A and B are shown apart, each in its own frame.
Chain A
C-alpha cells in the first residue's frame, strides 16, 4: 500500500509538520543538480559566453589610502582591441548593501581606500588586451597615511577614510545596549571574571571566483548574470547606480561555486560590466582573479573582545557585559549588522538574565569585512565558550554540566527580547558527551591529549529584511504542465547548499509527484518571485514555507475534478508517487498528469503562489532588528586532539557534533552542511588569517592563505537532533551556519585540557602554542573607548 498523507490543509493553516508519514522529506535523496555538476553541465557565470562578447579588467589601486588627483585614459582608449574605458565619474551614484551604508562606488571617485580598490575599467576584445590596456591608464595619486588597525583608527586624524557628518573620525558605528542592571548582577555573583579575546579576520575562499556578464539589449533592457547570493539586492543596487527603472533591469544569479557570504553584497564589478555593456553595446564579461576575490572579501571581521561575567557557585549566570571592537575595512558593507550580531545571540544559547553590550566598528584601509558563515556571532561565541570553560574550572564544575544547566528555556524570551522557540541544545550536549565518552575523558587523558565540549545557537533566517518593508521574504510560484510536470519559480539562489533541491523536494512532497517531475527555475529577478537571498540561513525555512503554501493552494484545484471523476469524496483522496488515490481503496486512482488535464479543463490554466514572512519580533529598541529569527538552531560539539609539545603541532583526532536541525529535509544535505562547517571552523581555528603587511594583503593566494586540505580533515561523527519546530517547514530549522560555531572554541579549550595553556586568540597556530608553553604568549587586549550611553529600551511587543 502506498504511503498516505493528510488531506488538503485549509489555506490559512500554518505550514507546520504533517502527522502522516512523509514520502520524500527526511529521505537521503540525491541533489537535483548533482548529476549536472558531476558531468560538468552546470553553467557557472564564467561558463557563459555570448556572440560578440568582450572582456573587462579593472585597474586597481596600489595604495592603501590615497587621493585620486587625475585619471588619464587617453592612451588606453586608442589601443587596438580596446572598445571602451570607464572611470568613476561615469557612475557617480553610491551604493551599498545596507541603506545606512551607501558608501561604495562602482569605480572610486575621489579616493582609494585599500590596495585593490578599483579606479578604472577597460572592455576589450580579449582579457590579454584588456589587461595590457590597464598599463596605459595613468592615475595620479596623493598618497595619504594609511590606517591598518583598530588602534590606528581610533587615533585622531585629519584625513578620515570616509569624510561624513554621520561618522566620527574613523568610527563607523558605536552602540550600547543594556537589558537590566548588570552591576547589580555582578554584586549578586559568587565569581566575577573578566578577560579579553581576539579573533583574527579570515575570508570565505569559495572555489568559484566571482564572475559577471552584462548584456544591454537593443530593447533597452539590462540583463546581468552573476555569481551572487542575493540577486534581489543586486537588482535594487544596479537600477540605482545605472539610473535605470528597475523594471528594465534583470539580474540572474548563476549557480554559485560556493558563497559562504562572500557573494552577498552588490559588487562594483557587476555595475562596471553593466555600464561597459551600455557603452560598447556588446555583452561584457569579467571573471575575477583569485587576488581580486581576496580584495572583494566581505569576510570575517577581526574582532577584539572583552567579556565580564558574574556567576553563582551553582553555575548560573547573574549578568554579562560584553564589548566588541570590529576592524571593518574600507567600507560599510553589512558592517552595522555584523556589529550588532557580535552582541545579539549571547543570550540565545544560555540563560543570561542581565546583559549589556557595547560595540564599535571602525574603518581601516583594508578590503571591507562583512558576512561570513555565522555572521558576527562566530567571534563572540569563541570568546564566550573559552570564557565559560575557565569559569567552570573556577567553580570546579564540569564544563558539560555548567552548560546543560544554563540552556535557555524553549518558548521563552531573552533579556534582549528575542523570542526563542524549540531548543534541542540539551539533547545535543548529552548526545555528543555520550558518544565521545566526554565525562570519562575530560581532565583524565594522558598529557598531550585533550578534549573539549562547546555549544552554540544560530538564526534560522533574519527576522527582518535588509531594507525596511512589509513584503514577504520569500515567494514561490507553481505552474503545471499537461504532462504532469510541475515548475517551481523562486528567487532563492543555490550556492551549493542545495536550495534548489529543497524546493523540489517540498513541492514533490506536497503534490505527491516524483522529485524528477519538478523543474526549478530560481534566482532570476524577471522570472521568479522575490526571495531575499542565500544569507542568514533563511532559505529552507522561508522558501520552504512559501512552497508549502503555494502547493497547498494548488491541491484543491487538482483534487476537486479528480474526486468527481473517481467518485470518491475529496477528503478521502491522497497524493503520492505521481498518483491521486482513494485512501481506503488505493487501487481507485489516477495519474497526476490526468488530474492536471482534468483540472485545467475545469479551471483554466493552473498555477498558484505562496509566500512567507517571519513572525514579528518583540523588541522595539534601536538595534532590535538584528537578532530576531523565526526560530534558532542549536549545536554542541566535542573535540579531541593531540598536541605535540616539542613542535606545538595539533592533530585533531575526532569531532562529535550534534545539531538541532528541527527536522532534516534531507539528512544527507544536513550532514554535508555540518561536515562543511566543521572543516571551515577548523580552518579558522588552526590556520586561516587575512593579514596585511606594508598596507597590502600578505598572502592573497590559495597556496599561501592556509586553509585545510581534505587530507587535513579529521573524522567527524554528525548527529542530527529533531525538535520539529512549529515555524519550520515540516519542523525544519537551519543547518548551514550554526554547526560552525562550536568548533572553533573547542580547539583552544581542548589544548588547555591537553597541555594546560590557554590561547585566547585565533588562529591557534603551533608557534603560539609553543610560546604559550614557554609562558611567553601575550594576552589579547582591547582599546580604551568611551561608548555612548545605552539606547532606550521601550516595552516589548506582545508575544505573537
Chain B
C-alpha cells in the first residue's frame, strides 16, 4: 500500500505556539494538520513531504459554534459533522450546514475540519496522482515539473479550488481570524484566495485559521448547489453559492453569487450581483443574471466531466440557485 513519508509530529496547545513552530521551520519543512483528510492522502502521494507536522487537534478552545450579537462564530477545528448537525447553523445559516453535508462522505466529515476545508489544496487530475504516475508525465508546474499540461502555454497553474464551504461563507460575507507568530488579524474569507493553482492562499504559511465569523443574517437567504458525479465522496466539479437580501416587496437589495471548482479560487460573479440589485427575482431576471454570472467560470480539462459541460452547467446552476431563493 501507499505509505506516509516519515515526519515528526508536534501538538501545541495554542494557535500562537503552532504559528511559531511553523515560523521556526523553512517553507517546505513544516505544515499544519487538522483532520488530515486532505493533507495525508497528498503526503502519501508525495505532493508534500514535510519533515514536521504541527497537529492542531490539541489547540485549546479550537472547536465549537457560538452565537453572539454580531452573528455566529465557528471555530477552526470544528468538524464538518459538527457543522452539518449544528442547530444554530441549521436554523439561521442552513446553507453552511448544507455545504458541509455535501463534503465527501460521513467518515471523512468526522475527521475533516472547517478550517482545513477553507485551506485545502487545489485539485487537478494531472496532480492528484502518485509520484510514479506524475513522473511518467514528467511532472507538472504545480509540483516537481515545468509546464502545465492543462494549458501548456500558460504561465500559471489552473488547479481547481475545491472547497465546498468557502463559496457559501463568501456569499454570507464571512470573515476569519488568522493567528500568526506575532500578530492576529481578521480578514474576509474572500481575501484568503488568489487566482493561482499553486499560490492559491493569501494567508501567510505560518498563520493558523482559528475562527470564522458569519455576520447576522438580517434576512439574507443563501443556498449552495454542487455538481458532482456521485451523491457521495466526490469533490465539487462546479459549486454555486448564492445569497439574496430583499425588501418587503421582493426587490433585491443585496445579491451574492460565488462559483467554485471552475477556477483556482472561488470566483465572485460581481456583474450578475450588480445586475440583480433593484430587480425582482422573476424568471426573466434570473435567466439574465445566470447568463452573466457563468462567464467568469473558467473550467479546464482537469477534473471529472468535460470543461465545456461544466461551463454550461454553471449557468444552469446559477439559475437554479436563484430560483430556489426566489421561492423564499
| B230 in complex: contacting residue of A701, A706, A765, CB < 8 Å | A706
Nearest CB to that of B104 among chain A residues?
A: A703
Nearest CB to that of B105 among chain A residues?
A: A709
- A484 is an interface residue with CB less than 8 A from chain B: no
Q: Is the CB of B2 within 8 A of A289?
A: yes
Q: Is the CB of A289 within 8 A of B230?
A: no
- A372 is an interface residue with CB less than 8 A from chain B: no
| A291 with B133, Cβ < 8 A, contacts A706-B230, A711-B230 known | yes
| A770 in complex: contacting residue of B2, B130, B304, B309, CB < 8 Å | B309
| A767 in complex: contacting residue of B6, B128, B309, CB < 8 Å | B309
**Docked CA distance A701–B125 (Å):** 10
Q: Is the CB of B231 within 8 A of A712?
A: yes
Q: Is the CB of A127 within 8 A of B231?
A: no
- B27 is an interface residue with CB less than 8 A from chain A: no
CB distance from A620 to the nearest CB of B (A): 48
**Docked CA distance A703–B231 (Å):** 13
CB distance from A437 to the nearest CB of B (A): 27
Please give, as numbers and ranges, the residues of chain B lying within 8 Å of A687 by CB-CB distance: 229-230
Q: Is the CB of B3 within 8 A of A646?
A: no
Nearest CB to that of A709 among chain B residues?
A: B232
CB distance from B39 to the nearest CB of A (A): 15
- Chain A: how many interface residues by the 8 Å CB criterion? 34
Q: Is the CB of B1 within 8 A of A647?
A: no
- B137 is an interface residue with CB less than 8 A from chain A: yes
Please give, as numbers and ranges, the residues of chain B lying within 8 Å of A571 by CB-CB distance: none
**Docked CA distance A687–B229 (Å):** 8
| A127 with B1, Cβ < 8 A, contacts A60-B132, A291-B132, A704-B128 known | yes
Please give, as numbers and ranges, the residues of chain B lying within 8 Å of A647 by CB-CB distance: 313, 316
CB distance from B37 to the nearest CB of A (A): 12
| A291 in complex: contacting residue of B130, B232, B234, CB < 8 Å | B130
CB distance from A125 to the nearest CB of B (A): 14
Chief secondary structure at chain A's binding surface: loop
**Docked CA distance A62–B231 (Å):** 34
| B232 in complex: contacting residue of A60, A646, A711, CB < 8 Å | A711
- A615 is an interface residue with CB less than 8 A from chain B: no
CB-contacts of B209-230 with A (<8 A)? 229-230
Q: Is the CB of A703 within 8 A of B232?
A: no
Q: Is the CB of A711 within 8 A of B133?
A: no
Interface string of A675-703 (1 = CB under 8 A from B): 00000000000010000001111111101
Q: Is the CB of B125 within 8 A of A706?
A: no
Q: Is the CB of A766 within 8 A of B132?
A: no
- B149 is an interface residue with CB less than 8 A from chain A: yes
Please give, as numbers and ranges, the residues of chain B lying within 8 Å of A766 by CB-CB distance: 305, 309
Nearest CB to that of A697 among chain B residues?
A: B133
Q: Is the CB of B233 within 8 A of A703?
A: yes
**Docked CA distance A696–B125 (Å):** 12
Please give, as numbers and ranges, the residues of chain B lying within 8 Å of A709 by CB-CB distance: 105, 230-233
- A63 is an interface residue with CB less than 8 A from chain B: yes
Please give, as numbers and ranges, the residues of chain B lying within 8 Å of A700 by CB-CB distance: 129, 133
| A712 in complex: contacting residue of B1, B2, B230, CB < 8 Å | B230
Please give, as numbers and ranges, the residues of chain A lying within 8 Å of B313 by CB-CB distance: 647
Nearest CB to that of B310 among chain A residues?
A: A767
CB-contacts of B231-245 with A (<8 A)? 231-235
| B130 in complex: contacting residue of A209, A289, A765, CB < 8 Å | A289
Please give, as numbers and ranges, the residues of chain B lying within 8 Å of A698 by CB-CB distance: 125
CB distance from A124 to the nearest CB of B (A): 13
Q: Is the CB of B1 within 8 A of A289?
A: yes
Please give, as numbers and ranges, the residues of chain A lying within 8 Å of B229 by CB-CB distance: 687, 706
Between-chain CB contacts (< 8 Å), 9 pairs: A62-B135, A63-B136, A131-B3, A289-B1, A291-B133, A696-B136, A709-B105, A709-B230, A767-B305
- Give chain A's interface residues, CB within 8 Å of chain B: 60, 62-63, 115, 127-128, 131, 209, 287, 289, 291, 646-648, 687, 694-701, 703-704, 706, 708-709, 711-712, 765-767, 770
Q: Which 4 A-B pairs have the closest CB atoms?
A: A62-B136, A767-B309, A709-B232, A711-B231
- Give chain B's interface residues, CB within 8 Å of chain A: 1-3, 6, 105, 125, 128-130, 132-133, 135-137, 149, 229-235, 304-306, 308-309, 312-313, 316
Given contacts A62-B132, A63-B136, 6 further A-B contacts (CB under 8 A): A60-B132, A131-B3, A291-B130, A291-B133, A696-B136, A704-B125
